[in-house]
Amino acid sequence: MTGNIEVQALLELITKSATEALDEYGKYGDSVPSVYETNTHPLDEHKMTLRLKKAIRNLEGACDQLCATLAPPLHTIVNRAQDYYWSCLRVAAQNRIADLLDNTTGGMNIESLAHESGIEPSKLRILMRTLAARHCFQEVSHDVYANTRLSLVLHSQSSHTSYIDLLTKEGQESAGNFQKYLSDNEYSQCNDSTHTVFTHAVKDTGFHGTVYDWMKVHGDRRAVMSSSMPSMNNVMGTLSIIEGYPWEKISTVCDVGCGNGSFVWSLLQKFPQIHVTLFDLNETLEAAKQAAGCLAQELQSHIHFQPGDFFKDSLPKSVDIYYLRNIIHNWPDNDVLTILGSIKNAMGPQSRILIHDYTMHSFQNKSPHHSLDQAPWPMLPDFGNGSMRLHYQDLTMLFMYNSKERTLEEVENLSQNAGLKLEQIMDLGETTVLEFGPA
């Protein structure tokens, strides 16, 4: 089969997916704003709708495959190997370039921007040209730059700057150390959480322990990690589960490893009949208690805070739903079995566990689980570049925790060993919710 037929099919997929995305924007506003505007659209901060998320997944996968098909192979590989864009994003965020431009009308010239930011003008010019080439900032006239919808994500008042900070520091430091780590058999042949790519990168400082131990020593970075979680959940489309599960039938929920509790606030506002237990380490719950103050008083009365360690302490008994979001991917298999076993011991006959995480899709067309979406031909069944963040997250778990994002079969095998059975699969476009009951 020639590539011509594949190219035509990809073009049709691109048109179809873009049209579906336009339709979703139309439901929340008059039209799609230009990438060069700075006005926000309701979908910019709204939880991304499931239909939009799936349309973008197809669009990104099809566009990338189209370029990889038509461009010479060397062209594509060099572009990927020479991608320093993350470094420019970090510099712009750390030096508050978006903030400085936000205070101007019509943009700011390089000399003035250099003076305000403290970056040498010729180097700043290269930085800004690079970022503007992919629509993060725009050159409105010669050497005069202004914000765009994308660059405003880097604004210091944005809720997402901590996540950008985390990804472009610990994440990239680990990535740069990956080959060196793999060549060190003492570390690379060990699968525990003290011998990770990241802990290998910092071992010359005298540190030994897990990334959590490192965060305890470096409180500023721990704060960055904690404050980045809402942004991570936003980009994952975490709140889609609120629309995709029959919460109206639920009375009690335990959010296991709840973090700052952000999921629960949204859940209670839509389903105020639910009573929630937030279960996490005591120091984490302190932040959740402060955040709970934003809720109406009657909803606050529906929240119980239970400090505990899911490796050692008992969870509340016979709760309707035990909800785990972005939890098991942080831990190796043996630790996951401990967590699931602890919950299994607390469950009642009608209790359910919801594991809400990334789930690795198969590259093969024949999947035993038909509830997971598969991309249309000629795309890779796992949507290729449309699910690339899933693969990056898989690497992040390896780098930081010696863990991984698991396939559905891997999660199901672990759950069976913990005395659980899979009841339902919900594909939410980027993440997956797996419902388990007692076996």
Distance of CA 188 to the CA centre of its chain: 26
Report H helices in 254-315.
262-270, 282-291, 297-300
Report angle CA 198, 200, 205 to the nearest 5 degrees.
100
The whole-angstrom separation of Cα 358 and Cα 429 is 10
Closest CA to 200 of 225, 179, 228: 179
Three-state secondary structure call for residue 329: helix
Please say whether the beta carbons of 113 and 145 come within 8 A. yes
Q: Which two tokens stand for residue 110?
A: 């390089």
Parallel, antiparallel, or unpaired: how do β-strands 321-325 and 275-280 relate? unpaired
Three-state secondary structure call for residue 172: helix
Catalytic-role residue among 329, 361, 369, 391: 329
Closest CA to 201 of 218, 219, 184, 217: 184
Is 329 one of the catalytic residues?
yes
Closest CA to 13 of 66, 49, 51: 66
For 11-31, b/e burial (b = at least 16 CB within 10 A) is: eebbeebbebbeebbeeeeee
Q: Which two tokens stand for residue 249?
A: 């039938």
The whole-angstrom separation of Cα 154 and Cα 89 is 8
Handedness of CA 66, 72, 75, 76 (dihedral sign): positive
The whole-angstrom separation of Cα 329 and Cα 393 is 10
Please say whether the beta carbons of 385 and 61 come within 8 A. yes
Q: Which amino acid is at 90?
A: R
Return the percent helix, strand and coil in the chain, to nearest 5. 55, 10, 35
Residue with tokens 């690497």: 395
Residue with tokens 């119980």: 304
Parallel, antiparallel, or unpaired: how do β-strands 144-146 and 138-141 relate? antiparallel
Closest CA to 89 of 143, 153, 148: 153
Parallel, antiparallel, or unpaired: how do β-strands 420-427 and 275-280 relate? unpaired
Instruction: Give the residue numbers marked as catalytic.
Output: 329
